[in-house]
Structure 1
């Protein structure tokens, strides 16, 4: 059987409108960017476009456009996104005790500025979901606490129930490494599934939480402890339940974040060596366009290579392709 092509991990692979916006951003064509955002009606696609355009736009252009449009929610949110993104790049993904004082200072400077911008945006435009989602990231980075993060999440959810990007941010916020607990994180993830309509992508929060749990056990103990945790019967049962309620429910239809959800399930099952369950998710992604998400997989190293290696291992067991 011929080898599979490398998976496409481009977040915009399934969204031509977002790719066009990103191309316009790379070309420094602000008018095309602004017009393109005006045609986006799905808040989840808008959020994806903010991340793709924010990363592609030249920082100087973002600054100048935002300065010229101080009450424009789009340019202000793109600038805030870029500040947060650049701040996290300075901090890096290292554990806190491996981040220097200079890195912490620059990180907080970026996030404080982004926070002030986002406060203004959400005050003028209370329903601007992309800005509220970014405020969850600033709350975590600035250590504003669980109660404040919850307040922001509930404020966002009032206008956009079950918003995947916001729930993903809250799983991070509620994990122990950010002042939460395993109980709070897993309880939230399960509630995301229960409160969503059958066939929604929100089931992806369950493997996201279990992967965070695996990561902390791997750090604090060793790889065997993390794998043993994921192999627990109750963990496997919860993962299967979440998949059946979401991406494998008869009502499921691919939409924003479906690739992320399947990728997380594939990773959680793969790390537990449940190759039959993992292969089902790898198959869905393969036949949906050979797509993959970096979410979670970056913890293993090169996300695309790790995804491909685990996929091949699952398929070698005879469960896929």
Structure 2
């Protein structure tokens, strides 16, 4: 389940972060152009505990380094969400929320400074989408941050996924708005674009929001199943689709969506392609042990 095992570059970056090797991390990240790959790698590196302890000294030593400030901002966003936890708001304590907001405010200062220094970079705007949702900046400001991201990198999957979360019912949006955004974004993209995953993600979010019994009935509805197949056909199953660096999370999304929808053959194709490479998201929606959930549904798909 460890992403490091299927991406050598990411493994090297995370190892450098763990040993506080800024020159090593800087060299590896510096080779990746700003765009979807860099934001995905940064988001993964930002999960490494302890970066927040040593990166301030790097910034002090290299005050002109936008990359160091970006790493710090990205880590503080991840660190903030760690404090909040993935629980629904009613289960999060006042102290957790206070720490959450304090860390996000520092992250926003750093990320805005990066955005000012590097006006062409999409990465700071991607992480500002994440921090903004936590600070509840409102739908209009959130939309502007999304637009800032995609104006710099049209079709950026990560930015679209963050905006999808923003318009979910659990973040003051609605199922209608969420599905509308997912479908519109998919159709705006060219065939073979990874944006088809948004449709599957939207159906999983809708499924998650329903009570037991209603959830299974929903995701097995003929119209939902048809939309899942359309999304896969237009994106990951299309001849024009070229697997990007972060294709494995996308395949996990479709594997879970088709599994829940009762489409064993379709799910099986994705499980076969994954060769056991499981990601935390979205399987954590089913079980606190994503590997157990993945293994269970893979067995069902294989009959």
For the pair 1:20 / 2:12, whether they are aligned, the reply is yes
**1:22/1:49 contact within 8 Å kept:** no
Q: Name 2:231's counterpart in structure 1.
A: 242
Q: Which of 96, 106, 109 is the aligned partner of 1:103?
A: 96
- CA shift digits 1:224-254 (9 cap, x unpaired): 1111110111111111000000000011121
- Map of 1:100-139 to 2, 5 A cutoff? 100-139=93-132
- Which protein has greater RCO, CA pairs closer than 8 Å, 6+ apart? 1
Shifted more, 162-171 versus 54-63: the winner is 54-63
Displacement of 1:89? 1.2
Q: Distance in 2 between matches of 1:13 and 1:46?
A: 18
The answer to whether the Cα contact below 8 Å between 2:121 and 2:152 also exists between their aligned partners in 1 is no
| 1:25 partner SS | helix
Q: Does 1:66 align with 2:69?
A: no
Comparing 125-134 with 106-115, which one deviates more in the overlay?
125-134
Choose the corresponding residue for 1:39, options 31, 44, 47. 31
CA shift, 1:257, in A, is 2.5
Match of 1:285 in 2: 274
Stretches of structure 2 lacking an aligned partner (at least 5 in a row): none
- State whether structure 2 residue 213 is matched by structure 1 residue 224: yes
Paired residues in the alignment total 301
Tell which deviates more after alignment, 71-80 or 139-148.
Answer: 71-80
Q: Any idea what SS the aligned residue of 2:238 has?
A: coil
What SS does the aligned partner of 1:250 have?
coil
| Aligned residue runs from structure 1 range 241-280, under 5 A | 241-280=230-269
Aligned to 2:284: 298
Deviations 1:99-152 (A, max 9, x none): 111111111111111111111111111222221110000110000111111111
In structure 2, the partner of 1:6 is: none
TM-score under structure 1 length normalisation: 0.89
CA RMSD of aligned residues (A): 1.5
Structure 1 portions without partners, runs of 5+: 1-8, 317-321
1:72 is displaced (CA, Å) by: 2.1
> Is 1:91 aligned to 2:84, yes or no?
yes
TM-score scaled by length of structure 2: 0.94
> Is the 1:269–1:275 contact (alpha carbons within 8 Å) kept by the matching residues of 2?
yes
Using the TM superposition, give the Cα deviation of residue 69 of structure 1 relative to its aligned residue in structure 2, in angstroms. Answer: 3.1
Q: Take 1:229 and 1:147, find their aligned partners in 2: how far apart are those partners? A: 30
The CA deviation string for residues 140-179 of structure 1, in whole angstroms up to 9 with x for no partner, is: 0000111111111111111101111111111111101101
Cα-to-partner distance string for 1:210-229 (whole Å, 9 max, x where unaligned): 11111111xxxx22111111
1:147 to 124, 129, 140: 140
User: What is the deviation of 1:42?
Assistant: 6.0
Q: Is the 8 A contact 1:44 1:256 kept in 2?
A: no
Aligned to 1:314: 301
Once residues 160 and 199 of structure 1 are traced to their aligned partners in structure 2, the CA distance between those partners, rounded to angstroms, is 17
Matched residue, 1:164 = 157
Which residue of the other structure, out of 172, 188, 211, is the alignment partner of 1:195? 188
**Does structure 1 retain, via aligned residues, the 8 Å contact 2:268–2:301?**
yes
